[in-house]
């Protein structure tokens, strides 16, 4: 974990970073967050992540985060914490409002701004690489989230419960099913290869438009694949050739079985391999 974190304009030791108990993120999950991957000491796709943080703030009527300052903070924390491979976590909340009340504070309240880093140890990196090479499994679960999944809110309890259900069944990811369509994972976006085309649920309020998702769509089109942003029917999982999820930390992760049934031939396919290589080339660059 970080030896130093950034909290409300100051760099402080991790053990000394304190947030008041009446912070609205703690009481109401009234806040937003982002996670950026760091490769070789450099943040990857930092600007798109911070642009999405600003969008989430607008949607929740939070004060606009200072993107320029957060960029400077990011590089400073990476240097102070000697971060080579890892992640940077950002959280912005509506701040402290006492006594507790559902409505927004009537007067001006300073938001709580937190930035911290986490290193990825070699064994974790190796395990992720093994998963990407061999593929992982998933389960389907009913959609139980709110109607604004496009906002990267810290209100993640349905996602937590779905991920726990997957873990208890020995699976890597839980895939949400809404109105007969598989829309995305508990912490990832979903793609299927159906009749040679790459299909992914359209960016709307039902999913989080992942930064990795956007990059993979661009890469796929550059490689000459047809990409269709449309719903993936649950029954289509039995006839798709490949299935994979994307996220900042998972990158391009192949699913070789869902609910105990093999996807395609049960092996990682050529489309995933090509997209993995394109993604890895971007991180190396």
Pairing of the two strands 31-39 and 251-258: unpaired
Maximum C-alpha span of the chain: 60
Cis status, amide bond into 191, omega within 30 of 0: no
In whole angstroms, what is the distance from residue 135 CA to residue 245 CA?
11
User: Pick the catalytic residue: 18, 152, 163, 222?
Assistant: 152
User: 123: Cβ–Cβ under 8 A, 6 or more apart, which residues?
Assistant: none
The kind and range of the H/E element at 6 are: strand 4-7
In whole angstroms, what is the distance from residue 9 CA to residue 17 CA?
12
State the angle between helix axes of 46-59 and 211-222 in degrees (0 to 180), rounded to the nearest 10.
Answer: 130
CB 37, CB 87: distance < 8 Å:
yes
Q: Is 163 a catalytic residue?
A: no
User: Read out DSSP for 76-113?
Assistant: HHHHHTT-SSEEEEEEEE--B-SS--SSPPSS--PPEE
Catalogue the active-site residues. 152
């Amino acid at each position: 974990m970080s030896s130093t974190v950034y909290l409300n304009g100051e760099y402080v030791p991790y053990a000394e970073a304190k947030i008041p108990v009446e912070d609205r993120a703690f009481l109401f999950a009234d806040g937003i967050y982002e996670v950026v991957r760091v490769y070789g000491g450099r943040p990857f796709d930092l600007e798109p992540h911070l642009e999405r943080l600003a969008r989430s703030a607008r949607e929740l009527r939070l004060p606009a985060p200072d993107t320029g300052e957060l960029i400077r903070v990011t590089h400073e924390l990476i240097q102070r914490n000697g971060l080579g491979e890892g992640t940077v976590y950002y959280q912005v909340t509506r701040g402290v409002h006492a006594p507790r009340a559902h409505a927004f504070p009537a007067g001006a309240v300073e938001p709580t701004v937190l930035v911290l880093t986490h290193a990825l140890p070699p064994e974790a990196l190796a395990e992720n690489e093994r998963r990407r090479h061999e593929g992982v499994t998933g389960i389907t679960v009913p959609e139980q989230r709110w109607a604004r999944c496009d906002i990267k809110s810290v209100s993640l309890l349905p996602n937590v419960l779905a991920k726990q259900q997957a873990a208890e069944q020995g699976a890597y990811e839980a895939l949400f099913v809404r109105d007969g369509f598989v829309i995305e994972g508990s912490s990832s976006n979903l793609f299927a290869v159906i009749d040679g085309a790459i299909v992914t649920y359209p960016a709307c309020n039902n999913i989080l438009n992942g930064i990795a998702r956007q990059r993979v769509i661009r890469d796929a089109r550059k490689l000459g694949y047809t990409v269709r942003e449309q719903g993936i029917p649950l029954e289509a999982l039995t006839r798709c050739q490949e299935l994979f999820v994307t996220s900042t930390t998972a990158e391009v992760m192949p699913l070789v079985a869902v609910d105990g049934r093999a996807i395609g031939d049960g092996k990682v396919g050529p489309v995933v391999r090509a997209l993995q290589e394109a993604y890895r080339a971007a991180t190396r660059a």
